[in-house]
Structure 1
Amino acid sequence: MEEMGTDRQMKWRRTTYCGEIRLEHAGKAVTLFGWVNRLRDMGNLVFIDLRDREGVVQLVVPSDMGTLLDEAKKIRMEDVVAVKGTVK
């Protein structure tokens, strides 16, 4: 994950649904919207399972993301978020 938004004033547009992410998306930038289905804080790494109407995708926020990692640790279950990142 490279960016995360929770501000209602955002002008982002979804590029794909969570459940549509496939191997062909590897290396491509995507913008996803959804609900936090599961959250695992491993200290220097946060895993977020993001859910929308099409399915679930796992997001990874590593420690080298700086303030983004701190923001990810504030997220709670069922929060609605928007994220931008590159599929790995």
Structure 2
Amino acid sequence: MHAYRTHTCGELRKSHVGETVKLSGWLHRRRDHGGVMFIDLRDHYGLTQIVFNPGSPGFGTVERLRAESVITLEGKVVARDESLVNPNLATGEIEIVAGE
């Protein structure tokens, strides 16, 4: 097992739903949707969307990070709602709810 990740940002699929994973990469983009923070985490293999809910560990930290900041996080893989699936991304059917 790798010290900084269990999977790459481009490999997670719907079959991984329910798993707790550890990812590392660059903060590609951050979006604040009324308190819920979304980031796109990028590594050499792809992009994965991460969700930070208010009060979750790391929420305050991710608010202060800039694009291209390097981070490692743990979270749970969840399926995106059908209306939110991104067909342009290989990982577009899932997202990670951030834990640590």
Name the TM tier (shorter chain).
0.7 to 0.9
Q: Tell which has more relative contact order, 1 or 2 (C-alpha 8 A, sep 6+).
A: 1
Q: Distance in 1 between matches of 2:44 and 2:36?
A: 26
Please give the root-mean-square deviation of Cα atoms over the aligned residues, in Å: 1.6
Paired position in structure 2 for 1:6: none
Give the share of equivalent positions with the same residue, in percent: 39
Aligned length: 77
SS of residue paired to 1:73: helix
Paired position in structure 2 for 1:30: 21
Amino acid at match of 1:57: T
Uncovered stretches (5+) of structure 1, i.e. residues with no partner: 1-11
Amino acid at match of 2:60: D
Q: Distance in 2 between matches of 1:72 and 1:42?
A: 14
Is 1:87 the equivalent of 2:77? yes
Task: Give the structure with the higher percent helix.
Answer: 1
TM-score between the two structures when normalised by the length of structure 1: 0.80
| Runs of 4 or more above 3 Å deviation | none
Uncovered stretches (5+) of structure 2, i.e. residues with no partner: 79-100
Q: Per-residue deviation at 1:77?
A: 0.2
Q: Distance in 2 between matches of 1:69 and 1:14?
A: 20
